[in-house]
Amino acid sequence: MPLHDDRALRPIPMGRKIQTLLASCRMHEVNPTVYLIGVTHSNTS
């Protein structure tokens, strides 16, 4: 039986990070969709 790293098989835990982002947007009265579109467009330029 080959040895492998169990961590490599697990999905990336993004749930908490997304919830934190949404909570921060709400706290600052920012639309999360508009924010994410702006961030992705500024990174592609």
Enclosing H/E stretch for 18: helix 15-27
pTM for the predicted model, two decimal places: 0.56
Q: Which domain holds residue 38?
A: 18-45
pLDDT in tens, 1-45: 455 666 666 666 778 888 899 999 999 999 999 998 998 887 776
Domain presence at residue 13: no
In 3D, which of 9, 35, 13, 10 has the Cα closest to residue 22? 35
On whether residue 5 sits in a domain, the answer given is no
The number of folded domains in the chain is 1
Q: Determine the Cα–Cα distance for residues 14 and 20; give it in Å rounded to an integer.
A: 10
Q: How far apart are CA 34 and CA 3, in angstroms?
A: 45
